[in-house]
Amino acid sequence: MKNAVKEEGDFQYIEEGEGKVLLLLHGLFGALSNWDGVIDRFKGEYKVVIPLLPIYEMPLRQAGLEGLVKHLTGFVKQKGFEKMTVMGNSLGGHVAMMYTLENPDKVERLILTGSSGLFENGMGGSYPKRGSYEYIKERVEYTFYNPATATKEYIDEVFETTKSIPKCMRIVAIAKSAQRHNMAEDIPNIKAPTLLIWGLNDTITPPMVAHEFNRLIPNSTLRFIDKCCHAPMMEHPEKFNDILAEFLEATNDKTQAA
């Protein structure tokens, strides 16, 4: 990992750059390194912050979306952040929406990419199978349009995680929590300008899901990236960052006026 992970109390996170806060939330099998391209592009004008969500460490009875949102709320409070731009991929998008609805005064803008919250296929339609490297390799590659995007290092990291029974139990508990927590009735209450960046070939949260988010979130804009699956910021970092930069620039004047 090229960016140092900081520790402060109960929290681990990456923080690079200065300026208004751009807070990034990873997914269920996501790593902090998933956002390297965003850090490199935006740390010159934003304070880019990526908290490590305690997916594998939280007490099993608390392993769910509510526990993750509580952790994020505590982190933001400890750091004293205000008026943030919050972006989440996959499960991180789900957490971002819940946090935004609970703390509308703290979120100026919201970006969702491959977010759960309405419908998702899970890890390619099934829960992680312990002990089979080929199975894990196949499932990780399933999340990318170009399987070569899934580096051996990333596959190894996911494989090591799924070898742990306690971690697998938490993964399953959180995945089930996400599937149960449908946000269709809640997200029309999101007031922040929202950008949806979606892979046109997403197999986990297909394009129809993006269109439904766009329909339900009042002030939202939908952009697709072709030949791209569930993690656009990893598969097409330049296109992703160009779309993000355009949105941030277009909404900067509006948020400053507000």
Q: For residue range 99-149, list pLDDT tens digits in order.
A: 999 999 999 999 999 999 998 875 444 445 556 888 889 888 889 999 999
Q: In this prediction, what percent of the chain has a pLDDT beyond 70?
A: 93
Task: List pLDDT tens digits, range 192-225.
Answer: 999 999 999 999 999 999 999 999 999 999 999 9
The confidence score (pLDDT) of residue 126 equals 46
pTM as predicted:
0.92
At residue 124, the pLDDT reads 40
pLDDT digits (tens, 9 = 90+) for 157-179: 888 888 888 888 888 888 888 88
- For residue 80, the tally of other CB atoms under 10 A from its CB is 6
Half-sphere exposure of 48 (CA within 13 A, CB side): 19
- 6-252: which CATH number, 3.40.50.1820, 3.40.47.40, 2.60.40.3880, 3.10.580.10? 3.40.50.1820
> Would you kindly state where each structural domain of the chain is located, as residue ranges?
6-252
CA distance 241 to 234: 10
